[in-house]
């Protein structure tokens, strides 16, 4: 892990004053923060705080009403999902969004979509460039399968897998794109302690070995405090705290938000 | 025991990704192809070739086409019959203008026209899906059928409104028209079908097939991964319509010899859809199983009373056939909702472990 205190790199991504509403419901009310290359950045907050909505804005699934997103030095008012993917942002979903009818291998291979370019012509015969490309990408995918220790379920349709393994396959599919930045939406929900430990190990390895910048939404505070370099805390669409885990732990506003004692004060703050 | 892959080690990804990774499958396929090429044309009589074998193969191609669109890419279509018609009429017009070009090439070319028309009618799929898309493709069905009836240029202003396949040859042997023998037509159809099936199997296992299945299973995730939904869907429509078009052209040139627009009506679309569902969504070989079942069922039902020496009044035959056919389709779907392909898959898994239960 990089030392959080002396982060001098320019931010990989910055969101400025993002506002997002659905009809009369204001999901995000002007949130700004930055994500530095190579860090693990956690976004936490009570349910309905706007965490997932924020990820959806970052990878282009939602278009914000106002505000801007700066990624790799370029400022956008909104991104298209395809652009976000090709610029190197991958993600996993709160409710696993795998392709249930396909095998683990095919799911992770699908993650390589943007790396594959051969034309339809060669694929008609599965020959020449098409076959070489399939094999080269298969080799990369097999490395990810090894990395995530899911060799035994390589050919199993993911619909048949238990939830914990599905989450792992989904992480594999996101990693297959070799993303600069990986958005993980509650990668450990519904897992037991052992599975959480495995998943934490994979996240740390991805961060350290592959250098992937990670944005993590998670409710398990133990995991969040241990894994992340810096934490953004959101509540009711607002950012209420931002900093290193040690500071967040003792932040009065954060404790209040989680215990729900003095909501009125902070909503107006 | 005989279907046991113990000892067949895969030492490369190439071997693991082969179409038939298990050696016994490859041998079985080889034997089956030899049977189809060397035995069938010389032992089956004209009745069997014309009523069972050739139509099963031809409808199998249309079923693969619709299966690519519906089973693999998840886009429901009721326009199959019309796309088959586009292929048939295009092949007919092409051979009228270019009689010197080989008919097999023209039939494959006519699939391209069908693909272009399918592409056009696939555009709504970007905005709508499921039953709503099916209704949009229904518009294609009715519109194209109307064109086949109203545009007399398409049938060369024939008085009957039908298109008639002229005599065309391959290597000096007549393969279309009244003078072509059933065996000659069969061999040409078989070769086209084998080629197209192989291509379909290649397509669905590569990156295009994966993008179709991804769109089918979870379109939002597919888009966020970088798959262009529009591209994947349109590609599925084009490839699917190509297969339907070639199938329609083969139907007229190698089976019926002549056809009126009603050959390509909505009932055709539905029967191909039944073939896809009974055969198994998302399965290439299932397409042939489905086509064989749906096409041959009424023939077998009609033959049973004859074989048993029972006399059934012709008035009742039609009703009985429909009723028994419907009942059988429903029972197959109750036994295995995912069709014959799934049944075959279960049988294979059991066979791999035989004689042990698990």
Largest separation between any pair of C-alpha atoms in chain B? 66
pLDDT at A81: 87
Using a CB–CB cutoff of 8 Å, tell me whether A155 touches chain B: no
Interchain pair B217, A99: CB under 8 A = yes
3 state DSSP class of A235: strand
DSSP state of A157: B
CA within 13 Å, CB half, A75: 8
Weakest-pLDDT range from A197-211, B134-148, B162-176: B162-176
* Helix or strand (DSSP H, E) at B317: helix B314-335
CATH domain B20-264 topology = ABC transporter involved in vitamin B12 uptake, BtuC (1.10.3470)
Identify which of A60, A82, A113 has the shortest CB distance to residue B207.
A113
CA distance B248 to B232: 24
pLDDT bin (cut points 50, 70, 90) of residue B310 is confident
Q: What pLDDT was estimated at residue A264? A: 52
Is residue A3's pLDDT more than 80?
no
| Chain B: closest CA distance from residue A203 (Å) | 19
pLDDT tens by residue, B253-287: 999 988 888 899 999 999 999 999 989 888 899 99
pLDDT at A167: 92
- Which of B68, B199, B204, B207 to mutate to test binding with chain A, by most A CBs within 10 Å of its CB? B207
Contacts of A50 (CB under 8 A, 6+ apart): A20, A27, A28, A31, A234, A236, A237
ipTM, 2 dp: 0.85
- The pLDDT score that the predictor gives to residue B302 is 80
At B61, is the pLDDT very low, low, confident or very high (cuts 50, 70, 90)?
very high
Using CA atoms, how far residue A57 sits from A31, A51, B328, B351, in Å, is 11, 10, 52, 51
pLDDT of A47-66, one tens digit each? 888 899 999 999 888 999 99
**pLDDT at A143 exceeding the cut of 70:** yes
B289 pLDDT band, cuts 50/70/90, is very high
**Across residues B128-150, what is the average pLDDT?**
89
Q: Residue A2 — very low, low, confident or very high, per pLDDT cuts 50/70/90?
A: very low
Nearest to A172 by CA among A146, A137, A208, A135: A146
pLDDT band at residue A260, thresholds of 50, 70 and 90? low
Instruction: Report whether A227 contacts A193 (CB < 8 A).
Output: no
* Domain ranges across chain B: 20-264
Residue of A102, A141, A174, A184 to mutate for B, most B C-beta atoms under 10 A: A102
Closest residue in B to A182 (Cα–Cα): B225
Stated pTM of the model: 0.89
Cβ-Cβ contacts under 8 Å, A126 against chain B? 19, 202, 205-206
Written as six digits, the tokens of B87 are 């292929």
Q: What is chain B's mean pLDDT, rounded? A: 88
pLDDT of the residue at B346: 86
| pLDDT reading at A130 higher than 80 | yes
Residues 6+ apart with CB under 8 A from A35: A11, A12, A13, A14, A41, A181, A213, A215
Between B4 and B191, residue with greater pLDDT: B191
């Amino acid at each position: 892990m990089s030392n959080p205190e002396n982060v001098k790199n320019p931010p990989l991504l910055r969101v400025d004053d993002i506002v997002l509403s659905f009809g009369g419901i204001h999901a995000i009310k002007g949130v700004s923060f930055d994500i530095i290359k190579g860090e693990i950045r956690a976004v936490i907050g009570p349910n309905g705080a706007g965490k997932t909505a924020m990820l959806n804005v970052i990878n282009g699934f939602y278009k914000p009403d106002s505000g801007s997103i700066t990624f790799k030095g370029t400022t956008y008012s909104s991104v298209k999902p395809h652009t976000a993917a090709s610029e190197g942002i991958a993600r996993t979903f709160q409710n696993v969004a795998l392709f249930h009818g396909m095998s683990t291998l095919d799911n992770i291979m699908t993650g390589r979509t943007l790396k594959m370019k051969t034309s339809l012509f060669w694929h008609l015969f599965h020959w020449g460039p098409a076959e070489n490309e399939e094999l080269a990408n298969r080799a990369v995918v097999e490395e990810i399968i090894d990395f995530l220790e899911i060799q035994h379920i390589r050919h199993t349709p993911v619909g048949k897998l238990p939830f914990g393994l599905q989450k792992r396959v989904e992480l594999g599919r996101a990693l297959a794109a070799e993303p600069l930045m990986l958005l993980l939406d509650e990668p450990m929900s519904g897992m037991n302690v052992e599975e959480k430990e495995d998943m934490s190990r994979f996240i740390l390895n991805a961060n350290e070995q592959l250098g992937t910048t990670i944005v993590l939404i998670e409710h398990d505070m133990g995991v969040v405090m241990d894994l992340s370099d810096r934490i953004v805390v959101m509540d009711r669409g607002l950012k209420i705290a931002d900093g290193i885990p040690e500071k967040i732990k003792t932040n009065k506003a954060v404790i209040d938000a989680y215990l729900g004692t003095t909501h009125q004060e902070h909503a107006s703050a | 025991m005989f279907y046991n892959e113990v000892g067949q080690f895969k030492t490369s990804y190439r071997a693991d990704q082969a179409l038939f990774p298990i050696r016994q499958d490859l041998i079985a396929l080889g034997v089956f192809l030899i049977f189809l090429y060397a035995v069938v044309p010389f032992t089956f009589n004209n009745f069997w070739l014309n009523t069972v074998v050739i139509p099963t193969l031809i409808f199998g191609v249309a079923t693969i086409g619709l299966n690519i669109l519906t089973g693999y890419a998840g886009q429901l279509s009721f326009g199959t019959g019309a796309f088959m018609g586009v292929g048939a009429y295009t092949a007919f017009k092409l051979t009228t203008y270019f009689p010197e070009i080989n008919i097999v090439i023209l039939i494959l070319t006519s699939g391209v026209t069908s693909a272009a028309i399918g592409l056009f009618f696939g555009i709504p799929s970007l905005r709508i899906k499921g039953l709503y898309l099916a209704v949009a493709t229904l518009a294609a069905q009715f519109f194209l059928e109307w064109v086949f009836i109203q545009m007399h240029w398409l049938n060369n202003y024939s008085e009957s409104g039908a298109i008639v396949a002229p005599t065309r040859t391959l290597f000096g042997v007549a393969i279309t028209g009244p003078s072509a023998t059933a065996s000659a037509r069969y061999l040409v159809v078989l070769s086209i079908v084998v080629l197209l099936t192989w291509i379909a199997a290649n397509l669905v296992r590569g990156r295009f097939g994966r993008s179709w299945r991804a769109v089918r299973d979870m379109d939002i995730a597919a888009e966020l991964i970088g798959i262009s939904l529009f591209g994947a869907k349109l590609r599925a429509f084009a490839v699917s319509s190509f297969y339907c078009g070639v199938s329609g052209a083969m139907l007229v040139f190698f089976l019926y010899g002549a056809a009126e627009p009603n050959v390509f009506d909505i009932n055709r679309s539905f029967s191909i859809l039944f073939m896809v569902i009974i055969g198994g969504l998302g399965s290439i070989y299932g397409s042939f199983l489905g086509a064989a079942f749906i096409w041959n069922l009424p023939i077998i039902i009609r033959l049973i009373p004859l074989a048993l020496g029972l006399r059934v009044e012709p008035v009742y035959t039609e009703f009985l056939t429909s009723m028994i056919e419907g009942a059988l389709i429903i029972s197959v779907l109750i036994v295995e909702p995912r069709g014959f392909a799934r049944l075959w898959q279960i049988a294979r898994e059991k066979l791999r472990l035989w004689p042990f239960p698990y």
